[in-house]
Structure 1
Amino acid sequence: MLKQSTIQLLRFPFSFFLMPVFWFALLFVKTIHWENVLQLFIIIHVLLYPASNAYNSYMDKDTESIGGVAKPMLPTKQLFYVSFIMDVLAVLWAFWLSTTVGIGICIYVCFSRLYSYRGIRLKKFPIIGFLTVVFNQGGLIFFTVYVAATGESIVTFPIMGAVISILLIGGFYPITQVYQHEADKADGVTTISMLLGVRGTFLFCMFMYMLAFLCMAYYFISIGAAYVFIVIQLFFLPVLVNFFYWLYCVWKDSAQANFKQTMRMNWIAAIFTNVAFIFILILQQFG
């Protein structure tokens, strides 16, 4: 029987925040193998991400609010075993889909462990930790989804899509750390957000998203699909309004960079980004 703390620390809702990269990768595939996509969706969002969350929580033993959880419970040994089993299932299932997909998922698991494991703990290094996250949750996941969706082991890979995914995660990741500076410092961790400061974190994320949008504009206009970029911008308007309002509040009072406001920003961004990419995907495949 799973303990309540184990279920909580798997943090399934957090998978929703990372889901846009999955849908975005599908926008680059003309003929999608939907059976593969459905299986990989479960592998990534039901097994892989929750297992990574669980292992990170097991190592950190957080007492302050973390991504998606206001009051985390203390982890037990069961959490470690559950995360291990979920990782094994994710890797085996991924290899069953294809060798390339399996390798991609295996690489993700390895770096996830290196990121959190107390003996190595890449997360305590601001630049290395940042690059580990954005390249894995951005570029690697994009590549893995693209390969699975095409149904081929070796494909002509759209590098611009991976670059945009990396930039999108680069704009999302630091903002999730902005309220955790004290807790991270006490744990011996220096995050990219701590390095940038509260205001610097907002400016950095704004810069990363600006680069992502510029790359989107260049790519979709160059292939004669400017409408895709326009639709994305329309869906992003509520996200931008909320972001700049929050930025204004933080500029006046840094205490506004708290858990509640961060989660509000994450939910708004995830909802509208997911809906935008799914809407465009429907237009491309069924419109």
Structure 2
Amino acid sequence: MFKKSSWEHLRIPFSYYLMPVFWFALSSATDVPIVNIIAVGVILHLFLYPSSNGYNSYFDKDEKSIGGLKNPKKVTIGLYYLSLVFFGIALIGALFINGIFFSMVLLYGLISMAYSHPSIRLKKYPYLSWLTAGVFQGAFTFAMCVIGFVDGSFSLLLEWKLLLPALITTLLLLGSYPLTQVYQHEEDKKRGDITLSLKLGIKGTFYFSAIWFLISGITFIWYFTHIDAQWAIWWFLGSTAPLVIYFYIWFTLILKDPKKYANHTMAMRMNKISSSVLNFFFIYYYFAQ
């Protein structure tokens, strides 16, 4: 039942691109048991995210490049069931951590299903899907990680020292999310999915993302100043410099020839650089505090 193509559509390596939020949440929590760090990391990156990838791939039925797969194979019903198996494993694992973490994993999974399921399909609503992805892959995931790390309650998330960095992660996602759609305009239009990037156009997507990257960068600097960790500002700026340079180069190429350079290869390279520099910074920040 579970063909090789179904396992490929889970896109487990793609979880690396979502890992910065995990490390930022860890660096914001205190006295986290090593077993919780490992458990939360495994549940999210090896089961929950792949489940979401597979489920959405099944209903999208993409014929051209998608995140993590340049040439996706035709999906089968086995992918649908495999994604549900992975979701079930994530939920069972979450139960062993605490009830609130389980509830948050469940909600994340259901929202991700609503993103592509034809009866709801949040993906076809440009601004709603943009906000949903930004909030749930950003602030909500940050909060979910913290709850899993420290076995706390929802009241913990109302503390400014955790609420603020959680919101900052959403700002960063609001900038990067439209770029993940920039090479899929033709296929999205064919399915009737008016994504935010399709609505903005290729050049408009880059202007839009540039504004949100600038806002999130300024907010990060303000945050580190606010918590009296000015030393982290220079590490943040130095670590993200390759990302800024690549985005600038890509943006310049887009202005010259949008159709030629708004492609899967350039977008995935952006994802790799972004996730790598942010993972490096947040891991360093965690150990350096």
TM over 0.5: yes
| Unaligned stretches of 5+ residues in structure 1 | none
Superposition deviation, residue 89 in structure 1: 1.3
Q: Percent identical across equivalent pairs?
A: 37
1:26 and 2:8 matched: no
Q: Tell me, in whole angstroms, the C-alpha distance in 2 between the residues paired with 1:125 and 1:256.
A: 25
| Unaligned stretches of 5+ residues in structure 2 | none
Q: Tell me which residue corresponds to 2:120.
A: 120
Superposition deviation, residue 241 in structure 1: 0.6
| Deviations 1:196-252 (CA, angstroms, capped at 9, x unpaired) | 111111111111121112221222111111112221111000111111001001101
Q: Tell me, in whole angstroms, the C-alpha distance in 1 between the residues paired with 2:89 and 2:7.
A: 17
Q: Tell me, in whole angstroms, the C-alpha distance in 2 between the residues paired with 1:12 and 1:144.
A: 20
Q: Tell me which residue corresponds to 1:50.
A: 50
Q: Tell me which residue corresponds to 2:103.
A: 103
Superposition deviation, residue 154 in structure 1: 4.2
Q: Tell me, in whole angstroms, the C-alpha distance in 1 between the residues paired with 2:197 and 2:34.
A: 38
Q: Tell me, in whole angstroms, the C-alpha distance in 1 between the residues paired with 2:154 and 2:198.
A: 40
Q: Is the 8 A contact 1:10 1:53 kept in 2?
A: yes
1:90 and 2:95 matched: no
Q: Tell me, in whole angstroms, the C-alpha distance in 2 between the residues paired with 1:189 and 1:154.
A: 35
Q: How does 1:170-185 map to 2 (within 5 A)?
A: 170-185=174-189
Q: Tell me, in whole angstroms, the C-alpha distance in 1 between the residues paired with 2:166 and 2:4.
A: 37
Superposition deviation, residue 283 in structure 1: 1.3
Q: Residue 154 and residue 163 in structure 1: after superposition, are their counterparts in 2 closer, same or farther (change >3 A)?
A: closer
1:168 and 2:175 matched: no
Q: How large is the RMSD of aligned CA atoms in angstroms? A: 1.2
Matched length: 284
| Deviations 1:172-212 (CA, angstroms, capped at 9, x unpaired) | 11101001001100011011111111111111111112111
Q: Tell me, in whole angstroms, the C-alpha distance in 2 between the residues paired with 1:211 and 1:150.
A: 30
1:78 and 2:78 matched: yes
1:217 and 2:218 matched: no
Q: Is the 8 A contact 1:33 1:151 kept in 2?
A: no
Superposition misfits of 4+ residues, deviation over 3 angstroms:
none
| Deviations 1:50-86 (CA, angstroms, capped at 9, x unpaired) | 1100001100111011011110001111111110011
Q: Name the SS for the 1:272 alignment partner.
A: helix
Which segment drifts farther, 199-208 or 64-73? Answer: 199-208
Q: Tell me, in whole angstroms, the C-alpha distance in 1 between the residues paired with 2:95 and 2:153.
A: 11
- Counterpart residue identity of residue 16, structure 1: Y
1:263 and 2:268 matched: yes
Q: Tell me which residue corresponds to 2:281.
A: 276
Q: Tell me, in whole angstroms, the C-alpha distance in 1 between the residues paired with 2:214 and 2:32.
A: 29
